[in-house]
């Protein structure tokens, strides 16, 4: 864990990406879509931070390689969920942007207990768990248990029967109008910011 307070001037990249994730979560909750202008800006600026660190800025432990690795890891983590229609493309790009900034600031060090890669992975899992809790709450409030159970059976069946990921995605998109819509940028934001707070021992 990091004993240094989170809200310090030298941690400004963490604060910037936290504001970016908060903005993405709010917009997704409001419009059910995270705009490309925001997500691409976050991704590119995270890579630029990594490049700046490589040439001597010193705003973190990672360079361009770590930022690029974090971007790719964010993409890889969400592809399976995106393929079955559980998240939108904006959520994928949102996670890629988070990965780029986290990689640039914390670095990618496989020998460290906590590094950029582990933060991206565990923050993503926290976001998924937050989404599960919110989703279950929505199901309980609406009470349409049979309909939701049928959706789960269809998704699982597609994963085993479909010939390709593309076919799974097409079937998921066809079912989308029947789903309870959950703007997944919200739980992702909760997971990302919550985990960053946790690794800094809630020390502000």
- Give the three-state DSSP class for 19: helix
CA distance 120 to 118: 5
- Local confidence band at 65 (pLDDT 50, 70, 90 cut-offs): very high
Poorest-pLDDT segment among 76-80, 110-114, 123-127: 110-114
pLDDT of residue 114: 78
Dihedral over Cα of 131, 134, 137, 143: its sign: negative
- Local confidence band at 135 (pLDDT 50, 70, 90 cut-offs): confident
Structural domain contains residue 169: no
Q: Which residue would you say has higher pLDDT here, 45 or 134?
A: 45
pLDDT at 26 over 90: yes
Q: Which two tokens stand for residue 79?
A: 């592809």
Structural domain contains residue 19: yes
Residue 91 is part of a domain; what is its CATH number? 1.20.120
pLDDT at 53 over 90: yes
pLDDT-above-90 percentage for the chain = 51
In sequence order, which ranges of 55-181 are alpha helices (DSSP H)? 64-83, 89-106, 116-142, 145-161, 165-175
Range of the domain at 123: 11-144+180-199
pLDDT at 168 over 80: no
Contact (Cβ atoms closer than 8 angstroms) between residue 103 and residue 69:
yes
Provide the domain count of the chain: 1
Q: What is the pTM of this model?
A: 0.84
Structural domain contains residue 162: no
Structural domain contains residue 73: yes
Average pLDDT, the chain: 84
Structural domain contains residue 114: yes
Structural domain contains residue 113: yes
Q: What is the mean pLDDT of residues 20-27?
A: 96
Structural domain contains residue 108: yes
């Amino acid at each position: 864990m990091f004993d240094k307070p989170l809200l310090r001037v030298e941690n400004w990249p963490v604060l910037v990406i936290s504001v970016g994730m908060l903005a993405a979560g709010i917009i997704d909750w409001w419009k059910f879509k995270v705009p490309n202008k925001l997500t691409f800006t976050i991704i590119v600026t995270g890579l630029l931070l990594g490049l700046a660190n490589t040439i001597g800025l010193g705003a973190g432990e990672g360079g361009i390689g770590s930022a690029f690795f974090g971007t790719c890891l964010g993409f890889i983590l969400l592809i399976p969920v995106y393929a079955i229609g559980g998240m939108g493309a904006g959520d994928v790009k949102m996670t890629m942007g988070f990965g780029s900034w986290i990689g640039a600031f914390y670095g990618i060090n496989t020998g460290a207990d906590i590094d950029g890669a582990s933060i991206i992975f565990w923050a993503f899992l926290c976001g998924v768990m937050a989404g599960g809790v919110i989703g279950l709450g929505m199901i309980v409030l609406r009470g349409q248990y049979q309909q939701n159970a049928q959706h789960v059976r269809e998704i699982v069946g597609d994963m085993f029967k479909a010939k390709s990921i593309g076919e799974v995605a097409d079937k998921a998109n066809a079912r989308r109008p029947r789903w309870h819509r959950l703007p997944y940028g919200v739980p992702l934001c909760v997971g990302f910011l919550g985990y960053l707070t946790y690794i800094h021992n809630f020390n502000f």
